[in-house]
Structure 1
Amino acid sequence: MDPLFPALTSERGEALRFGDRSLSYPELASVAGALASRLNGAGRVAVWATPSLETAVAVIAALLAGVPAVPLNPKSGDSELAHILRDSAPTLVLAEPGARLPAALAEVPRRDVDVRPGEKDHPAEPPAEPDPEAPALIVYTSGTTGPPKGAVLPRRAVASTLDALADAWQWTGDDVLVHGLPLFHVHGLILGTLGPLRRGGSVRHLGRFSTEGVARELGSGATMLFGVPTMYHRIAEALPDDPELAKALAGARLLVSGSAALPVHDHERIAAATGRRVVERYGMTETLMNTSVRADGEARAGAVGVPLPGVELRLVDDAGEELAADDPEAVGEIQVRGPNLFTEYLNRPDATAEAFAPGGWFRTGDVAMRDPDGYVRIVGRKATDLIKSGGYKIGAGEIENALLEHAGVREAAVTGEPDADLGERIVAWVVPADPGTPPAAEALADHVAARLAPHKRPRVVRFLDKLPRNDMGKIMKRALSA
């Protein structure tokens, strides 16, 4: 296997920039190489994943040393953090100088990451590239169905995903990526930080997302933007009053959204204001990336594109039988297999075995439909977003998009709840555009029925001040139901 970061041996320019601090490729090679020489044989290392230059250097150093890195969310609660530490048993925690670590980390030896170039011992020659199956990262899932599970991501999964995205997005070393995503998750860390470095390009991390930061960076040489739907919603809201933001987005080569479905309404508002369409992709911690709209393809609102090179994808029914690929009305669970998959859940052979169907197919738990040309449309999670009402299988996502097309709706989520007659009834959770005069519930139900079908109309509408979201901007539907 080739090195994960071949450009580290080059004399290329800026590799990483966080705020007003940056490292060139030779500087990154020096500081990460010096730290890597101290990590050899360290076992697993935890990384206190603040949005900082130190976090990026720590992860790169661990990968150079062939040591699995465990990114830790700085916002994790005490019990969740204690569980992750017990499960992964890191021998060391890497952190930026001055970062205050919680009591749960008190027993783990700490090493501050020094990113000052020119003040390192001469870095030792990096070891040979480890086996492709060697663990690169252990990334913990969100824990929606119990304590978080550590997905062991091998080096071949990281490399294959980034190379497949390079093919789909025509991603090269000339690209400069902007993002403000957290670095404890695969979107911000693997795609947003390691992805540009594998290509020999550059990363500009905003530290904290802002539309001003997006406009500044895209207006000064950056070519790509990665974000989640919450970020693009804020962009869509700001565009009418910010011509500089519109100009900067119009000049970008690629705008990418992921981690959750981008509402059609925001797609259309951004396209109308900038002439640029947002590209969506689909992945998860255990599989990294599965599908994407290609840079040379049609950015179709509500669709996450086609399977990436090397990735096989199928839809199956409740019995696990494969659905016909040419049936656009078929709704089924997505199963995938390919070099992008994780190896196992750490210390959980039972959960690992349960996650796979015969033939090596990973059960994603996501439910989708497929257009005749192969474009995949996610309609939600099997556990929370597939509503079985009156004999129909209904995806929550299409109802949410329909609600968001109503002028009186700012945000919307859809769930199902038990109903003696229908089996489940559709419940809409709505944040009104004007809290003082919310739209009538019946008007919203009629709006959905007119756009989709009568059996997809919400039977209950509940108004909220805001929807509960996690750090990646995903709506926490279990919190709504509770």
Structure 2
Amino acid sequence: MGLLTALEGGYGDRGDALVVDGRRMSWEELLGAASAVARRAAGAPALAVLARPSLETVVAVVGGLLAGVPVVPLPPDSGPKERAHILRDSGATLLAAPVGETAEDVEVLPVDPAARAARPAGEPPADATAFVLYTSGTTGAPKGAVIPYGAVAADLDALAGAWRWTAEDTLVHGLPLFHVHGLVLGVLGALRTGSRLVHTGRPTPGGYAAARGSLYFGVPTVWSRLAADEDAARELASARLLVSGSAPLPVPVFERLAALTGHAPIERYGMTETLITVSTRADGERRPGSVGVPVEGVRTRLVGEDGGALPADGESVGELQVSGPTLFRGYLNRPEASAEAWTADGWFRTGDVAVIGADGFHRIVGRASVDLIKSGGYRIGAGEVEAALRDHPAVADAAVVGAPDADLGQTVVAYVIPDGPVSGDELTAFVAERLSVHKRPRRVVLVPELPRNAMGKVLKKQLLDLG
């Protein structure tokens, strides 16, 4: 049995099995269109996909997977610097994009949802690369996490068990299609379980309310906005599960959603490198502020600053480390970073700080580092934004932090030492032109100097006190 079991005919088919921003396809139509992409992509070292929320994106991703070619989702708002890095680092020689799209830096593979071809023979092995997903680190350019087919299959099967996710469900979400939550869970999860998928284009309260789904995915920003729209929220009362992830769900939002919809949200935890490793259960307790227990096949542990194991006593705080079949294989072209990601005995270092209770429930306390910002469900590396700001001729230095934000979870704030006339709006636009738009600073504070320690390191925890 392959990764995309819905395309093998075992779940039947319907004309609206896949709906993206109002456009519909059956699984059979998706298979035919994706097979046409696979025929053209076969043999390429990697297939970049312009990952807009569209049928073309789904067709292209499935086509790359059918061809056994590593799929590299490209954020549609990538600036030229970020785009060039991803294409160069991944080795992608083709960019799958809608018919009529052009590109100067890579050959375009036109994606036509109306095209049809026979499915390629054979299945990629479990250890073959399914995706190279670029994730922001704390410094430098994004790193490509190499995700094998077997890890995707293991994770989706574990989540299907945890959430009682079946072909009887209709999954609804409006999340971006270039990261784990929106693409791997939100598209391949439907193709794995056979559930109908409705992607709303954008994750608006009205779109979610009108979709009439049984299973909904969202990030805290989405749920916060939905909870503020009482009429839309009440329309979700007929759903079976509301799932939140990518960042901690504020307790007031959890409680308001539960009051308006009658459903306490499912919270889960994971990373690009590990996929989803911990979750509350469809048939279990859903505790505000907790992400539940490890999914099937995954083990977790807490480690103290001295490297020793910490007890699961509900009080001890340590770095969360994980192991299991859902983990990535390493960072593409980054042997040193890959080696640093694992302990000597084979556990992945998440860099997140957590508490585990005696009952196994996990609570994520925060980042071990202050340099990874989670804003609106996105992971944003402060170092990447700082580097973009420093490219501006009127910037002498810059430091970026995440400030608490009721809507986004965290908002990107930049503290800049100017070296000439410059405004905050100008610097925000400057970053948005070079990186993904969601990485731009929402606030820029011009300062004469940055607080530093004796070694010259910026004391980021003091920055927010500057205003």
- After TM superposition, is the score higher than 0.5? yes
Cα distance in 2, alignment partners of residues 225 and 256 from structure 1:
6
Q: Mark the CA change 1:470 to 1:296 in structure 2 (over 3 Å): closer, same or farther.
A: farther
Structure 2 residue aligned with 1:107: 105
Structure 1 residue aligned with 2:306: 319
Matches within 5 A, 1:47-446: 47-99=49-101, 105-116=103-114, 119-120=115-116, 123-218=117-212, 222-239=213-230, 242=231, 245-325=232-312, 327-384=313-370
Cα distance in 2, alignment partners of residues 236 and 246 from structure 1:
6
How far 1:256 moved relative to its partner? 0.3
Cα distance in 1, alignment partners of residues 285 and 193 from structure 2:
24
Aligned residues: 393
Q: Mark the CA change 1:77 to 1:478 in structure 2 (over 3 Å): closer, same or farther.
A: farther
Unpaired runs of 5+ residues, structure 2, are: 375-400, 408-431, 444-458
Cα distance in 2, alignment partners of residues 108 and 217 from structure 1:
37
SS in 1 for 2:269: strand
Cα distance in 1, alignment partners of residues 69 and 337 from structure 2:
24
Q: Cα deviation per residue 1:155-187 (whole Å; 9 max; x = unaligned)?
A: 011000000000000000111111110001110
Cα distance in 2, alignment partners of residues 24 and 478 from structure 1:
51
- Return the letter of the residue paired with 2:20: F
SS in 2 for 1:357: coil
- Return the letter of the residue paired with 2:99: P
Q: Cα deviation per residue 1:18-75 (whole Å; 9 max; x = unaligned)?
A: 1221111111111112221222112201001011000011000110110101000011
How far 1:144 moved relative to its partner? 3.2
Q: Mark the CA change 1:309 to 1:109 in structure 2 (over 3 Å): closer, same or farther.
A: same
CA-atom RMSD in angstroms: 2.8
The structure with higher relative contact order (CA 8 Å, sep 6+) is 2
Q: Mark the CA change 1:358 to 1:203 in structure 2 (over 3 Å): closer, same or farther.
A: same
- Return the letter of the residue paired with 2:363: R
- Return the letter of the residue paired with 1:332: G
User: Is the deviation greater in 285-294 or in 270-279?
Assistant: 270-279
Cα distance in 2, alignment partners of residues 228 and 474 from structure 1:
20
Cα distance in 2, alignment partners of residues 153 and 168 from structure 1:
22
Partners of 1:68 and 1:136 within 8 A in 2: yes
Structure 1 residue aligned with 2:44: 42
- Return the letter of the residue paired with 1:247: R
How far 1:78 moved relative to its partner? 1.7
Cα distance in 1, alignment partners of residues 364 and 440 from structure 2:
17
- Return the letter of the residue paired with 2:3: L
Give the alignment's TM-score, normalised by structure 1: 0.77
Give the alignment's TM-score, normalised by structure 2: 0.79
Q: Cα deviation per residue 1:82-109 (whole Å; 9 max; x = unaligned)?
A: 111111121100012345x6xxx51310
- Return the letter of the residue paired with 1:179: H
Partners of 1:97 and 1:112 within 8 A in 2: yes
Cα distance in 1, alignment partners of residues 236 and 332 from structure 2:
41
- Return the letter of the residue paired with 1:223: S
Q: Mark the CA change 1:110 to 1:480 in structure 2 (over 3 Å): closer, same or farther.
A: farther
Partners of 1:228 and 1:473 within 8 A in 2: no
- Return the letter of the residue paired with 1:280: E
Q: Mark the CA change 1:474 to 1:227 in structure 2 (over 3 Å): closer, same or farther.
A: farther
How far 1:236 moved relative to its partner? 1.2
- Return the letter of the residue paired with 2:357: D
- Return the letter of the residue paired with 1:90: A
SS in 2 for 1:315: strand
User: Is the deviation greater in 63-72 or in 143-152?
Assistant: 143-152
Unpaired runs of 5+ residues, structure 1, are: 387-395, 398-426, 434-467
Partners of 1:229 and 1:473 within 8 A in 2: no
Q: Mark the CA change 1:189 to 1:227 in structure 2 (over 3 Å): closer, same or farther.
A: same
- Return the letter of the residue paired with 1:40: A
Cα distance in 2, alignment partners of residues 318 and 369 from structure 1:
14
SS in 2 for 1:164: helix
Cα distance in 1, alignment partners of residues 327 and 177 from structure 2:
20
Cα distance in 1, alignment partners of residues 57 and 333 from structure 2:
26
Kindly report structure 1 stretches of 4+ aligned residues shifted beyond 6 Å.
430-433, 472-480
Partners of 1:151 and 1:345 within 8 A in 2: yes
Partners of 2:226 and 2:233 within 8 A in 1: no
Identical-residue share of aligned pairs (%): 53
Q: Mark the CA change 1:248 to 1:129 in structure 2 (over 3 Å): closer, same or farther.
A: same
How far 1:479 moved relative to its partner? 11
Q: Cα deviation per residue 1:267-292 (whole Å; 9 max; x = unaligned)?
A: 11111122111110000000001100
- Return the letter of the residue paired with 2:112: D
Structure 1 residue aligned with 2:418: none
Cα distance in 1, alignment partners of residues 352 and 437 from structure 2:
18
Cα distance in 1, alignment partners of residues 440 and 210 from structure 2:
23
How far 1:135 moved relative to its partner? 0.2
Cα distance in 2, alignment partners of residues 171 and 265 from structure 1:
27
